[in-house]
Amino acid sequence: MVEDESRLASALRRGLAAEGFAVDVADSGPAGLDAARHGGYDAMILDVMLPGLSGYEVVRRLRAEEHWLPVLMLSAKDGEYDQADGLDCGADDYLTKPFSYVVLLARLRALLRRGAPERPTVLVAGDLTLDPARRRVTRADAEVALTAREYALLDYLIRRAGQVVSKTELLDHVWDAGMETAPNAVEVYVGYLRRKIGRERLETVRGAGYRLAT
């Protein structure tokens, strides 16, 4: 566990030990990173706001080094973008403070059941790459500049590369819920995206939706 609030760290350590967990505590980002690299742990509970190195940077470095230790982020940063940033950096779960201890235990057990399968932090489809942690897209090693909406659209499509994705699904996941969106918005942004990544990369499947080539 990487947590610099000593009272919280002590309480959590006692509670987890009572549940049968063996727990080591680090109180800074660099100490937590070093422990994760060399400690042979089954999971990590990681605060975000830490001295020396943020939790975001700790997990980003671990994933860049292909360390797949399951990480549960625990933070007072409770905004939706904060949570998205944590997950995009490579964390497996994110729980906001104040939190339910029962829920923390349940999520920790779920992480341990899933284990640590290897998974890339950079998404790839053919010559396209999308790095969620850096919000960076490249095509044939050349960086592609995308607007926020174009990026969100490509992010959704590349995670389903080779699959047909309907317009309705894209509207539901890429556009804000409750926001009035023109019916042809998907077509318009697909057109914008095609001009930047190559028309041949994004296929229209007539009557069904769109498919990003692998």
pLDDT given for residue 176 in this prediction: 60
pLDDT given for residue 125 in this prediction: 93
pLDDT given for residue 179 in this prediction: 54
Collapsing DSSP states into helix, strand and coil, what is residue 161? coil
Under a CB-based contact definition with an 8 Å cutoff, are residues 29 and 50 in contact? yes
pLDDT given for residue 155 in this prediction: 87
The list of the chain residues with pLDDT below 70 reads: 116-121, 133, 176-183
Cα–Cα distance between 72 and 114 in angstroms, integer? 13
Domains of the chain: 6-114 (3.40.50.2300), 123-212 (1.10.10.10)
User: CA dihedral defined by 40, 4, 74, 135, rounded to 10 degrees?
Assistant: -80
pLDDT digits (tens, 9 = 90+) for 7-45: 999 999 999 988 888 899 999 999 999 999 888 888 999
DSSP per-residue letters across 81-141: HHHHHHHHHT-SEEEESS--HHHHHHHHHHHHHH------SSEEETTEEEETTTTEEEETT
pLDDT given for residue 27 in this prediction: 94
